Structure 1
Amino acid sequence: MALAGVFLPVALAVIMFGLGLGLTIADFRRVVAYPKATLVALACQILLLPAICFGLVLAFGLPPALAVGMMLLAASPGGTTANLYSHLFGGDVALNVTLTAINSVLAVVTLPLVTNLSLSYFAADSAALGLQFDKTVQVVAIVLVPVAIGMAVRAWLPRFADRMNTPVKIASAVILVLVIAGALLQELHNLGGYIRSVGAVTLVFSVLSLAIGYWVPRLAGIGRGQAVASCMEIGIHNATLSIAVALTLLGDTRMAVPAATYGVLMFFTAAAAGFLLRSRTAQVPYDEARP
């Protein structure tokens, strides 16, 4: 698809640049203040969720392209939406910012790794789908370099970074909507079947992500506020990044379908989880509810 080939790499780079504009070195240093909460959340994000997603894909018997799309979604980090939800429902937003910063850098490794392994397993007979070395380098370039540039701009020109934050988000959103609309039109005749194929699995994956994000930290003895932050960070994946990688680097509209479907559902499941956690917090003593 020519439109995706030209504009989507630009949109992805702009998205990651915008993320970098909101990050500072202090966000990474803050991990020292939350070592246990950070390590538990990262273990859930990097190890547990891909394993659970793999099990769901096998259980639901998804076709290879949709299976790879689900795994790509599982490997995608959280984002600014997680920070917003955490703020709304009493989470430790500072922990969210820390996790977003670390996950954004780790995604340079985890995204190509999970995608390559998934392609090898689910689409071994289709060499055209492979994320080869040159594509892996593109992931690093399109994801890491714009984040680094954004952080540099933030460090050197903080006022300019503040002014550019909103325009960059709007520009990337507009470009992305146009490209996704074009991709959907191209696959319009298959769209109903795709949604029927991945609607249930994305819903289950969303609910499990949120539950794991909250209960694993709680079982590890982490406070409620940080557990809520972990819930939102792990439970709200960056569907935009997953869609962009699928359409740009993998060149397969079908692989973007799970993330596109999840991207709609997650707003409702995350909101439901937030209200449940807030009502639960109101029922426990003040000392127990503190982070």
Structure 2
Amino acid sequence: MDLVSTALPVGMGMVMLGLGLGLTVGDFARIAHRPRAVLAALLTQLLVLPAVCVGLIYLFGLSPILAVGMMLLAASPGGPIANLYSHLFGGDVALNVSLTAINSVLAIVTMPVIYNFAVLHYAAGDGALGLQFGKAVEVFAIVLVPVAIGMFIRQRRATIARRLDRPVRITSLALVVVLIVAALVQNWEILADNFGHLAGATATFGAVNLALGYSLPRLVSVVHAQAVACSFEIGLHNAVMAIVIARTVIGSEQMALPPAVYTVIQLPLALVFGLVLMKMAATPHATPRAVERPTPIGERP
């Protein structure tokens, strides 16, 4: 196994540990106070996005292995970076924290289900790609165990958790950026051959994610700040999780290319979308009186 594949789980573990350091049991309980926003976000994440992804796969004519990689990306939950974007652009950060927590737990079940569906549909002849029970256990270990450790530290040693939070987040972000760049360089020839299709598919997928993440909650009368939170939670997938599963659990470098290209494209795209949301919020009709004050990062309501 190459250095990138070996180091990626470490980077992923640090990302999820950092997420756990910022979570409490109350973050899971808090979703009961925002049922409409949470339900809208979860239904969009679990049902609408995979359907959108299937359509884009056909539209851009992706090969079976890249199609499975796209579905793996669609199945990945929102990432911790969604909290930062939500904070910058007036979202309800407490809702982001709750959604990230519940989505990360649900991913233990939903990612293997959606992935196995994609393999059966797009690569039925390749039985080696199936995510069997043993590999599903690996997904559990990669995703949930570091989060549980972080939450345990926060519960027992809150002061230590606060001190560790920033350095863990910064270190994990830097490590992940380096590893993603290394993965892209390592697969440059494959990427060059498929970049046109992948860039178009991932950029379209990312833009549709952000738009649906905001508009669908608004259709069911979710207030602006919560819709902004849903938009970034749905629009900024934890692509690192998809890359780790593709490379280290499944053992496919090509399958990791869609989430890697998505990461490069989606962060600036989400920045532009956030500026559009800010402009919308500045107009009198865009922000109803019921809008809640966003909760700053680090605070608990």
Give the 3-state SS of the residue equivalent to 1:131 in structure 2.
Answer: coil
What 5-or-longer segments of structure 2 have no aligned partner?
A: 293-301
Shift of 1:109: 0.9
Aligned to 1:25: 25
The answer to whether 1:290 aligns with 2:291 is yes
Question: Does the 8 A contact of 2:184 with 2:260 survive in 1?
Answer: no
**Superposition map of 1:117-128 within 5 A:** 117-128=117-128
Shift of 1:6: 3.0
**Superposition map of 1:235-250 within 5 A:** 235-250=235-250
| CA shift digits 1:65-124 (9 cap, x unpaired) | 111111111111112211111111111111111111111111111111111111121111
Aligned to 1:253: 253
Give the 3-state SS of the residue equivalent to 2:78 in structure 1.
Answer: coil
Runs of at least 4 residues off by over 6 Å: none
Question: Identity percentage over the alignment?
Answer: 50
| CA shift digits 1:1-34 (9 cap, x unpaired) | 3324432233322222221111111101111110
Check 1:265–1:179 CA distance in 2 against 1; reply closer, same or farther (3 A cut): closer
Give the 3-state SS of the residue equivalent to 2:250 in structure 1.
Answer: coil
Q: What is the RMSD computed on CA atoms of the aligned residues?
A: 1.7
Question: Does the 8 A contact of 1:21 with 1:161 survive in 2?
Answer: yes
Shift of 1:53: 0.7
**Superposition map of 1:100-179 within 5 A:** 100-179=100-179
Check 1:102–1:69 CA distance in 2 against 1; reply closer, same or farther (3 A cut): same
The answer to whether 1:183 aligns with 2:183 is yes
- Cα distance in 2 between the residues matched to 1:228 and 1:182: 32
- Is the helix fraction higher in 1 or 2? 1
Work out the number of aligned pairs and report it.
Answer: 291
What 5-or-longer segments of structure 1 have no aligned partner?
A: none
Question: Does the 8 A contact of 1:72 with 1:242 survive in 2?
Answer: yes
Shift of 1:133: 1.5
Question: Does the 8 A contact of 1:62 with 1:197 survive in 2?
Answer: yes
- Cα distance in 2 between the residues matched to 1:235 and 1:56: 16
Question: Does the 8 A contact of 1:79 with 1:238 survive in 2?
Answer: yes
Aligned to 2:13: 13
- Cα distance in 1 between the residues matched to 2:245 and 2:28: 25
Shift of 1:214: 0.6
Residue 105 of structure 1 aligns with an amino acid whose one-letter code is: V
- TM-score relative to the length of structure 2: 0.91
Aligned to 2:96: 96
